[in-house]
Amino acid sequence: MVAKKSLSILIMILLIISVLLSGCSKNVSGQSNKSISDKKGKIKIGIMQIIEHEALDAARKGFIDALASKNFKDGENIEIDYQNAQGDAPTAQTIAQNFVSGKKDIILAIATPTAQAAYNATKDIPILITAVTDPVKSGLAKSWDKPGTNVTGTSDAAPVQKQFELLKKLVPNSKKVGVLYNTSETNSELQVNDVKAISPKFGLEVVPVGITSTNDIPQALDSLLSKVDVLYIPTDNMIVSAMPIISARCIEEKMPIIGAEEGTVNKGALATEGIDYYKLGFQTGLVAVDVINGEKPSDIPITTLKDAQLIINEDTASKLGINIPDDLKEGAKIVKGGE
Amino acid sequence: MDLYISILEQGFIFGIMVLGVYITYKILDFPDLTVEGSFPLGAAVTASFIVKGINPYAACFFSFLAGSAAGLATGVLHVKLKMTNLLAGILVMIGLYSINLRIMGKANIPLFNKTNIFTGMVPVAVIAALFAICIKILLDLFLKTKFGFLLIATGDNPELVTSLGINTGFTKIVGLMLSNALVSLSGSLMAQYQNFADVGMGTGIIVMGLASVIIGEAILKKVSIILPTTMALIGSVLYRACIAFALKLNFPATDLKLITSLIVIVALALNRYKIGERFKKLFTARGGIDAAH
């Protein structure tokens, strides 16, 4: 008896919620997957991002700018709905479902967890991904060249080979390279594996140290600094957020840092041969234009950024007493500051 | 429409976790942080089993067992080694992080294109609701048994239990095992629902669990005939509804968490002054159920 009553109240409450919310969703529009550009009215693009982060924000900006460069402007002929899960995976799921029920024409998912949430929510609406390191291992695509799913876009897989060549040029006598990474980020884990695979070629031994929160960093760093000659920082969201403290400590100890992306160098790492997330986002935006014009995501290869940019932090170099060879300086982007 | 369905789906799946948190926080008066580790533990066990081709229901069952083992560990630390409840939970939670990574072998396992308990003709919301409501009813029945009363007494009046010649340590351990088993089962369902397990899934679970228990209680406590377990379940759905509602309001994306907390505040404040009293009137008018108490 009691159970029955409480059940009926449960149902009542749910009805109340539905009524409360029903005013908010009235997006009904016909959707033709053939060619999105034929559609009447604005093209609806949903952008979902897992967390606020310098690199991811840059990728988003690049994406929007790429669309604008092809005359798809927000508010004119496209309508961009940007949502951020603020670090919460179930919320990413809700956002993805919102996008599907709001009948978005295209979804841009920035970083792996949002991409997985979007792919879980729809197998029809084209999903553009960016800042996903390995779309195949993340279960989003069948292969890089031909995704075979509704997912395509760009990967931020770092050019580790080039970065290690740079490392050897700048720190020729190094024997041991320390890698600091967050064990809960798949992206970082893949990069650590890459680093391990590639380092014997350069006569380097890898000392990886995993952390689980920014609070672990000072200790992990101290244990690492006594063991290695040079530090490599992957495109790890947590480590990159803590770069100021890492670079300050490393400069104190005269330890050079090679980063995997520009953000780390801006915040005090010595140098990188890295990818620019803005350009990566831009490249993704151009793919989105192809999709709007009727190409099928399942046939569009997932690409990485073609050209890497050498970026050197001059202040850090002088503090470490490292002379940058002139041939390297040519064509390099020189930044200052950090720490 | 999809939005409400997704609220129900997530609300019921997390609801199982909330029932677990209810056992420790409300019944045992034990703020148990183990849940931040046992939730992804369930997801990890399930994902690694499903990838190996093991039946998803079996995976759910083993997640349940794994969760109870985590609860056992916390219980033993607290009862036998006399650690404070917070420290015991924290230690197990920290340890579970590495264990979860070991079980999964990597930080994230995708489960797309794998059969799980949600694949098939039955809508996800129905399966999730069935799971949550069945577990709620079983839990209600369990709390009515002799051992259930002992569990409640352990939290309310431990001296009474001791005076009956029963060891409160034992009842605490069993309570913790049951609680973490439910949390782990919820993690298992979540992994199958979102089609991936991630080692970071546990972050914020305790906040969500406590918020749901408290919201459910605050909104429904004046309706005396509702069982506290039902309140916990409804609280979970309401909490997800608040987040979904915050997303719908089209504020700048960065304000999401602030808006979510504001909605919860407004809901609780409105309830304090209006809804509660109306509910009370409604139910007292219906034959004086309150008078019977």
Per residue in B37-60, pLDDT (tens digit) is 999 999 999 999 999 999 999 999
Average pLDDT over residues B56-70: 97
Give the span between the Cα atoms of A18 and B238, in whole angstroms: 11
Q: Measured between alpha carbons, how far is B213 from B160 in angstroms, rounded to an integer?
A: 26
| Residue B153 contacts residue B170 (beta carbons within 8 Å) | no
Q: Per-residue pLDDT tens for A212-242?
A: 888 888 888 988 988 999 999 998 888 888 8
For residue B257, the model assigns a pLDDT of 83
CB-based contact A139 B111, cutoff 8 Å:
yes
On average, the pLDDT of chain A sits at 86
Element (H, E) at A305: none
**Å between B198 CA and nearest CA of chain A:** 8
What is the rounded CA–CA span in Å between residue B13 and residue A306? 43
Q: Which residues of chain A make contact with B133, given a CB cutoff of 8 A?
A: 7
Rounded to an integer, what distance in angstroms lies between the CA atom of residue B18 and that of residue B202? 13
Task: Output the pLDDT for position A31.
Answer: 40
What is residue A179's three-state secondary structure?
A: strand
Would you place residue B283 in the very low, low, confident or very high pLDDT band (cuts 50, 70, 90)? Answer: low
Mean pLDDT of A155-164: 87
User: Mean pLDDT score of chain B, rounded to an integer?
Assistant: 89
CB distance A9 to B226 below 8 Å: yes
Q: Nearest chain B Cα to A184, which residue?
A: B107
pLDDT at A336: 82
**Residue A154 Cα distances to A115, A128, A192, A306, B281, angstroms:** 12, 8, 20, 11, 59
Among B2, B101, B201, select the one facing A183 at the smallest CB separation.
B101
pLDDT band at B291 (very low <50, low <70, confident <90, very high): very low
Residue A94 to residue B238, Cβ atoms within 8 A:
no
Say whether B247 and A94 touch across the interface (CB within 8 A).
yes
Among A105-114, B151-160, B201-210, B240-249, where is mean pLDDT lowest? B240-249
- Name which residue leads in pLDDT, A298 or A23: A298
Least confident of A9-23, A110-124, A140-154, B182-196: A9-23
pLDDT in the model for residue B56: 95
pLDDT for res A184 = 85
State whether residue A337 is helix, strand or coil: coil
Which of A151-165, A290-304, B123-137, B238-252 comes out lowest in average pLDDT?
B238-252
User: Given a cut of 80, is residue A32 above it in pLDDT?
Assistant: no
pLDDT at A14: 55
B257/A86 Cβ within 8 A: yes
ipTM: 0.72
Q: Looking up tokens 């088993």, which residue turns up?
A: B181
Does the pLDDT at position B253 exceed 90?
Answer: no
Vertex A45, ends A61 and A116: CA angle to 5°? 85
Gap from B272 CA to chain A (nearest CA, Å): 17
Give the model's confidence band at A23: pLDDT under 50 very low, under 70 low, under 90 confident, else very high.
very low
Residue A107 per-residue DSSP state: E
The crossing angle, in degrees rounded to 10, of helices A2-22 and B2-22 is 140
How far is the alpha carbon of A318 from chain B, nearest alpha carbon, in Å?
38
Select from B247, B283, B291 the least CA-distant residue to B7: B247
pTM: 0.77
State yes or no: pLDDT of A12 exceeds 60.
no
